[in-house]
Amino acid sequence: MAPPLVSVPMKKNKKPSLVLTLSAAGLLIGAGSVAYWLLSQRQLSSSDLLVGANIIPGDALFAVSLTTDPQQWQKLREFGTKETQAELDKNLVELRDRFLTNNGYDFQKDIAPWVGNDVTIAILAPAIASKTAPKPVTTNEDAASVQQSMVMVLPVKNPEIAKNILAQPKTLKQGKWIDRTYQGIAIKQSEGQAVKNFSAALLDGRFLVITDNPKATERAIDAYKNQTSLATTGGFAENFPKIVNDQRFGQFYVNVPTAAKIAAASPNRPLPAQVLAQLQNNQGLAGTMILEAEGIRFKGVSWLNPNSQRVLAVENKAGQMQSRVPAETLMMLSGGNLQRLWGDYVLTSQGNPLSPIAPEQLRGGIKSLTTLDLDKDLLSWMKGEFSLSVIPATPKEGSPNDFRAGLVFMVQGSDAVGGASPRVGGQSLRNSAERSIKQLDEVMRNQFQFQVQPAKVAGQPVVNWVSPYGTLTATHGWLDGNVAFLVVGAPVTDKILPKPNNTLASTIPFQQTVPTEPNPTNGQFFLDVERTVKNFPLPTLIPNQQTLLDATRSIGMTSAVSDSRSNRYDIFLALKKVRNTTPLPSPESNKSNSVR
């Protein structure tokens, strides 16, 4: 199951998005831009694609579309805690004042009357100037060093009001306005600005496009007129409609191969050539963000490059493991085919310094420690559904605060595409699996001096590994004849044997957090954030991590292979809510506070 590429919306890198909605027009008028319009593409339905997709150049690195509905933004501010709300509000106010208030504009008065329901901001890939006999390495270095340009697309619902405002732009604090024409389109741009010169043009009265680079304006016009826009990029028009939602708060798109090229050129963390070649098989990652009553939902899709020789196996056979673990399970990650997952990991990880562990190292480590061949002895029969779960143990009597948990791995044995039952063909599978497991038992006994003790739990045979110090370290056995399990850490085997009456699948948190679509699925993920964070110290991976975790109740994800070229992901973040939210500080109050 592939991890998604979406962040918790309270993160700082998401916060500026709001006022790019509010400030897009302010940036266009006040910070040095004036308006320019672009023709909309007549062939495509804008309701199914990212707003402005027929205008944004096809090599855009990243694009995000955000609602201009104030009620949706207010709803977003209600999620989280007082701390996350304060951090969000701080960034929103800073951007509003920078792009609107400080330039004499008010969103509700000057922008809202004419702007459409969504606006889009795109970051373009650097345009590399042609050189004599350029070398690939040099081109990549140029791509990393040339500054990227921004394009904003604002649909116009009331052209007359917009024209009246744009006819009299604010006087620039520095520089002047000049007029020019490109491909018959009138462009007005600033000249002599200290940082960037903004460019704008009005076309067809339907879209207002703003750039921070005159060349980016020309690239956008070329993309529209020559039909080389994002809308015509391979796989975009076919896959983006899969995640469309009329109630969306925002949408995003990432150009994977372009992003990979820029990453490969980075002097700090360059990607090897073989990794870059693998990433060229992928084309896009897109998502839609929807605000719901109890949290935020993301509907995602990723797709391969149409020219790639790689195809995906449409195999969605997961969805049973949550019914094998108890209700108190803290975390569960499941997938449909462990052998295939490993194969995909090998394909994208060999030679990749960013991979958690090199495949060859893992193979070699297992071989040296156990004498087992990972591919032949283990993964050869692990083609069914698998899961990895964290299950808390029952506290010892008299020690209610003594928290312990076991790590539980389960895998359904299968030696054929259609799976194998514990009978007939499945019996040889079971025999093959047991030979590998017995070999592992011998290694634990002879090489690591563990006691390997047969036992029974709920009448079912299991094998315990007891450390030289007499502590039960692990237990393995079988469920329903063809599901092998291994419990490491706290003894929680009695939680899965016999099959629990109250399962994780039956709990309200799981049902309300883990998406029911796509269905059928090839993998799911559930994390009870509140109980996990309370009991486990987690390493810091992102800024303000603890603040973000404190705002989250649980996380759920469901994925599936949509077709031979694309994957689908649905993610839900169940969030806490702030009581008695207050409005954003008004620009007037900010000014009075600064005077004091």
Tell me what percent of the residues of the chain surpass a pLDDT of 90. 46
| Element (DSSP H or E) covering residue 486 | strand 483-489
Measured distance CA(472)–CA(486) in Å, rounded: 13
| Rounded alpha-carbon distances, angstroms, from residue 221 to 62, 187, 218, 246, 394 | 18, 11, 5, 28, 65
DSSP assignment string, 315-351: ---B--GGGTSBTT-SEEEEES-HHHHHHHHHHHHTT
Contact (Cβ atoms closer than 8 angstroms) between residue 467 and residue 450: yes
Question: In the predicted model, is pLDDT for residue 3 greater than 60?
Answer: no
Residue 172 clears pLDDT 60, i.e. is over it: yes
Tell me the C-alpha distance between 433 and 377, whole Å: 8
State the pLDDT at residue 480. 87
CB 308 within 8 A of CB 281: yes
Cβ neighbours around 553 below 10 Å, total:
18
For the chain, domain boundaries:
16-227, 313-563
Amino acid of residue 364: G
pLDDT bracket for residue 488 (50, 70, 90): very high
Q: Flag whether pLDDT at 45 surpasses 70.
A: no
pLDDT band at 493 (very low <50, low <70, confident <90, very high): very high
Is the peptide bond preceding residue 587 cis, with omega within 30 degrees of 0?
A: no
> Of 44-48, 460-464, 470-474, 562-566, where does mean pLDDT reach its minimum?
44-48
Question: What is the model's pLDDT at position 2?
Answer: 39
Residues 39, 20: Cα–Cα separation, whole Å: 22
pLDDT tens across 341-364, in order? 998 888 777 666 667 788 888 999
For 115, the 3-state DSSP assignment is strand
Q: Helices 82-99 and 587-595 meet at what angle, rounded to 10? A: 90
Q: Look at residue 512 in the predicted model and tell me its pLDDT.
A: 96
| Per-residue model confidence (pLDDT) at position 415 | 54
Residue 47 above 90 pLDDT? no
Taking only the tens place, the pLDDT of each residue in 121-136 is 999 988 654 333 333 3
Q: How far apart are CA 415 and CA 191, in angstroms?
A: 69
Specify which residues 382 forms β-bridges with: 414
Separation of alpha carbons 319 and 243, rounded Å = 22
Q: Which two tokens stand for residue 594?
A: 């600064």
B/e letters for 49-76, b = 16+ CB within 10 Å, e = fewer, are bbbbbbbbbbbbbbbbbbbbeeebbebb
Amino acid 544: pLDDT:
82
Q: 224: which 2 tokens?
A: 């529209």
Q: Give the β-pairing of 118-124 and 460-466.
A: unpaired
pLDDT recorded at residue 463: 97
* Distance between CA atoms of residues 483 and 562, nearest Å: 27
Q: How far apart are CA 242 and CA 237, in angstroms?
A: 10
